[in-house]
Every structure is written in structure tokens, then in C-alpha cells.
Homo-oligomer: A and B are copies of this chain.
Amino acid sequence: MEPFFPPRRLLLGPGPSMVHRRVLHALATPLVGHLDPAFLGLMTDVQALLRLIFSTSNHMTIALSGTGSAGMEAAVVNIVEPGDAVVVGVNGVFGTRLATVVERCGGKAIRLEVPWGQVIEPEMIATTLQRSSPVKAVVLVHAETSTGAWQPLKPIGALCRQYNALLIVDAVTSLGGIPVEVDQWGIDVCYSATQKCLSCPPGLAPLTLSERARAVIKHRRVPCHSWYLDLSLIADYWTEHNRAYHHTAPISMVYALREALRLIEEEGLPARFARHQLNSRALLAGLMALDLDPLPPPNQRLPTLICVTVPAHIEEASVRSQLLERFGIEIGGGLGPLKGKVWRIGLMGESSTEANVLTLLNAIEEIGIRSGWVSTPGAALQAAAHIYSGGR
């Protein structure tokens, strides 16, 4: 079997995003053991950096040994016990999945369903909490990767406290790209993934637990179904004065995460959020010049994942194939009911650059000109350039 040389790709899909060469170099660092003092020190560094981007002082702030979906499962399986009522916002693939995960734990999922692309209004949550009390937790997806919808979270934390429910938040496509204020917003369990706005390869799930959440876990009636994701056991490994063996940490991935987080620290969160905003505005201006309109309503559009409706006269799958094959650019198609109807373009972490926005718009225009659905060459680029030169 021959060595593997991947084709050159510009990753502008829903993840993975582009990875900085410093992170790739970190991955290739020779290994030390998972109980080596040098590795334990590195874990402490990663925890400090994760607290920074989660905006939290939570002691239990860690990187789980699995992808974002493992983060989701850990968040639910540690909190939910058989019979517990859990309110789940369902407005896309990941809310839908969360409800399933709740039910697999024996929980009773109370689904708050709204059309895909929209967000769950706080009033809807308030009404449900009032009607369904006691509720163990409210679960919301901050950034719905399947629709590009930006869920408001600020008012929900206080609401949850009022009804003595925990707030669990999926920050997979938000952490490191838009503000995630764990402490200020009163989030009790927040998890993410490395391959989105953190621009690290997939394989780890950053996760943080409030003291309220830890107390709930501590007083469970039955042990958590999962041994691998049991946060009460994992805490013993991630607690600085303990570091008891639970399972072998994915050492190389933790190296990579540390370097990716260091890059974020160097850029600074405000600058990083502004960059994500600017590039998404430019991209969206360009796409709208091509009659590709965003799925979520104004003020609910993520800058990290831009989801646009593809008109019927455009062969959406064919355009994506051409982007990949002719231009080496990956963007995402729709999932579930949105299959064939939308494109999902990720501008996350290292992928969110002016050059990438212009490269993508130019490639879409070229394909559109050939196929006859673009009549004014350069209109999309012009619209984007207008934003970059300070326009609105």
C-alpha cells in the first residue's frame, strides 16, 4: 500500500476547518506518557486556556477523549437519570440528536420544536418550564451547524435557576468564533469540539462543568451509564492534585489543542470575534449578490456557519462537486429535510480569512457563469469588497 498524500483542500464546510501549521507541527511532537509530569503540566496549561475561551472559572474544565459528539453524550449521560424530564430545543440536526441522547439515558425529552433555521424563543422555554416543573435540565444548541441559526442564551441561565434546572449548551460551532460566556450566562454544562472555531483537528471535546452541575453528578441515584464518559471518574485525572489514571489520554491531540489555544490567546478573543464577523458579512454580501439568501432570519445568523438557500435552478450537488474537484474547495450540503436545499459554508478559525472568502465567491461565480445562472461576472466579489472597504 502506497503512502497517503491528500489532495490540497480549502476547508470551508461545516468542519473540519483549516489547521495552522503550528498546530500540525505540534501533532508531530514525539510522545510522552499520559502520567508523565511533563504531560500533566501540559494538561494544566490546556485547562487554563480552555477556561479563558469558555469565559469561566470552573475548576472542571477539560478536553474529553472523543469528538464533539462524545462531548454531547457526556453532557447528557452524566446529568440525566432515568425518568428525568429534560427540555430540549429542537431546530436542527443537533437538537434532534440531543433529544435522542436524552431518551437513550432513560430521560423524558420535552421537545421545543421550531422550524429549522429559527431559534427557540426564551418565552417558549419559560412557559415550558412553568408547565413541566420539575425539569432536570434545559438543553440548547448555541450554534446549530445544520441551519446556521444563532441561539440567544443570555436570558436563559436566570430562567433555569428560577426553576432549579441546569442549563446544558452545545457550543460546538460557536466556541472560539463568537462569545461563549459560561459564567456570566449561567451555563452549567458546556461542550464543544476542536475542529470548528478552534481550528484543531477533530478528536477532542472541550467541556466545562459548573459547581451546580458537579453537585448534581455527585448526588446521582444510579451510576452514569457510560464508564468511558463518566465525568466523576474523569475528574480524578483532570484534577491537578490527583491525576489518577482513568484511560490513556490522546496525547498528540492534546499537544495540538494546546497550540491551537495558544494561537487564540495570541490573537485575542475580541479580535477573533471581530474577524469572524467581518468575513461572514463579506461572504454573505457576496452570496446575496448571487441571490443566495441566508436561511436564518436577520440577527439570528451565525458568523461561523453561513447557511444559504439554493434556488431550484441551481444544481446544488453539482456545484459542490465542481468546487471540490476543480477548485479543491469543500463546502457542506444540507442535512435531513434541508438536503439539496441549502449550502453550509464554514468560516471558522483559520478558515475565516478575506482570501478564503474571495476565493470561494470567485469559484462559485465561475461555476455559475459556465452554468448560466450568473450573468454579471464579479458582482459577488464586488459586494464582498464593499464590506472589506468599510461598507455596510
CB of A248 closer than 8 Å to a CB of B:
yes
Q: How far is the CA of A227 from the CA of B193 in the complex (A)?
A: 17
CB of A170 closer than 8 Å to a CB of B:
no
CB of A238 closer than 8 Å to a CB of B:
no
CB of A132 closer than 8 Å to a CB of B:
no
Those of A6-51 within 8 Å (CB) of chain B: 6-9, 11, 13, 15-16, 18-19, 24-34, 36-39, 42, 45, 48-49
Note all chain B residues with C-beta closer than 8 A to A83: none
Q: Which of A68-76, A148-156, A381-389 contacts B (4 or more CB under 8 A)?
A: A68-76
Q: How far is the CA of A1 from the CA of B250 in the complex (A)?
A: 21
A379 to chain B, nearest CB (A): 29
Given contacts A7-B32, A11-B31, A203-B203, contact A16 B251 (CB under 8 A): yes
A229 to chain B, nearest CB (A): 8
Q: Which of A181-189, A255-263, A274-282, A289-297 contacts B (4 or more CB under 8 A)?
A: A255-263
CB of A164 closer than 8 Å to a CB of B:
no
A82 to chain B, nearest CB (A): 10
A73 with B226: CB separation less than 8 A = yes
A195 with B248: CB separation less than 8 A = yes
Q: How far is the CA of A54 from the CA of B107 in the complex (A)?
A: 38
**Interface membership of chain A positions 57-85, coded 1 if the CB is closer than 8 angstroms to chain B and 0 otherwise:** 00000000111111011000100000000
Given contacts A30-B19, A227-B100, A252-B201, contact A265 B1 (CB under 8 A): yes
A262 with B16: CB separation less than 8 A = no
Given contacts A6-B32, A33-B13, A227-B97, contact A203 B247 (CB under 8 A): no
Given contacts A24-B28, A33-B11, contact A259 B4 (CB under 8 A): yes
A49 with B248: CB separation less than 8 A = no
Can you tell how many copies of this chain the complex includes? 2
**Interface membership of chain A positions 327-343, coded 1 if the CB is closer than 8 angstroms to chain B and 0 otherwise:** 00010000100000000
Name A's interface SS. Answer: loop
Note all chain B residues with C-beta closer than 8 A to A255: 4
Q: How far is the CA of A72 from the CA of B230 in the complex (A)?
A: 14
CB of A3 closer than 8 Å to a CB of B:
yes
Q: How far is the CA of A7 from the CA of B42 in the complex (A)?
A: 12
Note all chain B residues with C-beta closer than 8 A to A67: 65, 247-250
Q: How far is the CA of A238 from the CA of B72 in the complex (A)?
A: 21
Given contacts A29-B4, A66-B70, contact A202 B250 (CB under 8 A): yes
Given contacts A15-B248, A30-B19, contact A6 B224 (CB under 8 A): no
Note all chain B residues with C-beta closer than 8 A to A202: 34, 248-252
CB of A324 closer than 8 Å to a CB of B:
yes
Report A's interface with B, CB cutoff 8 A. Answer: 1, 3-9, 11, 13, 15-16, 18-19, 24-34, 36-39, 42, 45, 48-49, 65-70, 72-73, 77, 97, 100-101, 104-105, 193, 195, 201-203, 223-229, 245-253, 255-256, 258-259, 262, 265, 324, 330, 335
13 sample A-B contacts, Cβ–Cβ < 8 Å, listed by A number: A1-B45, A1-B49, A3-B259, A6-B29, A27-B27, A27-B252, A31-B201, A73-B226, A73-B228, A104-B224, A202-B251, A228-B229, A252-B256
